[in-house]
Amino acid sequence: SGSEGMKPQELAHRMNVYLDAMTQVIQSRLGTLDKYIGDAVMAFWGAPVPDSLHACNAIQAALEMQHAVRGLAPTFAAKGWPALQIGIGINTGTMTVGDMGSTIRKAYTVLGDPVNLASRLEGITKNYGVGIVVGEETCKAATMFTYRELDRVRVKGKGEPVGIFEPLGAPAEVCQAELDELALWPQALRLYREQDWDQAERLLAELSHLSPQRALYPIYAKRIVNCRANPPGEGWDGVTTFATK
C-alpha cells in the first residue's frame, strides 16, 4: 500500500485513520469485525445476530468502503501520505462461527471453505483491475444490485470453478454509459469462451473505446493474443486458473 520509507509513528497513524474509517462502515452495515491482519480487515455478516440481508449488507459495505477510501484521499495527500487502493473479496456460504483458538487465547471468528474462497477473491481483485470481487453465491443472495461478470475461475485449494462478479451498485445508481458497456460485455465474454477470437477482439476494441480507463478489456485482449499463440483446444471450458494465493 505504498508505506515504504514512512516513519513507524506516521505509518501507525496512517493505518489507524484508514482502519477506523473501514470499521465504521462495516459496523454501520451490521457487519461483525473479526480481526485486523496487518492493513487487511476481516468481517462477516449474519452472526452473532441473524441477518436475512447479510449478502446485501456486505456488498453495500464494500461499496461504501471504496467510497470512504476516495473520501480519505485529500487528507492523505495533504499529509504527504501515499494514496490508498484497496481490494475487497466477498463470498456467501455456510460456515462455522464461534469462539475458536487455543486454551490460552480464543476469538469469535468464522471457519470454512466459503471463508477461504472470500480470501482468494480479495487476492485476485488486482488481476482484473477492480476494487470488489464477489462470488456467484453472493450475487444470487443479493439480486438488488447490478453486476459485471468478470470471469469463471479456479482458485488455489478449490477444484470447482466459480463465477466472479463486480458489484456496480443499485440499478438507479448505474449511469447510462456504464449500462451501454454492460449491454455489450456479455457478448464479448461469450465470444471469448467460444474461442471466436476475431469477433471477441472487435467487441473488446469497441468496449475499450467506450471506457478507455477500464483494465478488464485490455486484460482479455491480451488473453486472446496468448490463446492464438497457444490454442486451448476443443475441451476448453473458458475457466481461468489461479495457482497461487
Task: Give per-residue pLDDT as tens, 224-245.
Answer: 999 999 999 888 999 999 987 6
Task: Go through the chain and tell me how many residues it has.
Answer: 245
The answer to which of 25-29, 66-70, 122-126, 155-159 has the lowest mean pLDDT is 155-159
Share of the chain above pLDDT 70, in %: 98
The pLDDT of residue 51 is above 90: yes
The Cα 203–Cα 70 span in angstroms is: 31
- Strand segments (E) across 45-192: 88-90, 96-101, 106-111, 132-135, 146-154, 162-169
Please determine, for residue 159, whether its predicted confidence score (pLDDT) is greater than 90: no
pTM: 0.94
The Cα–Cα gap between 24 and 26 comes to 6
DSSP string, 199-220: HHHHHHHHHHHH-TT-SHHHHH
193 has a pLDDT exceeding 90: yes
Of 8-22, 125-139, 197-211, minimum mean pLDDT range: 8-22
Mean pLDDT of 128-149: 98
Q: What is the mean pLDDT of residues 157-161?
A: 83
Ordered alpha helix ranges (H), 110-175: 113-128, 136-141
Between residues 165 and 9, which one has the greater pLDDT?
165
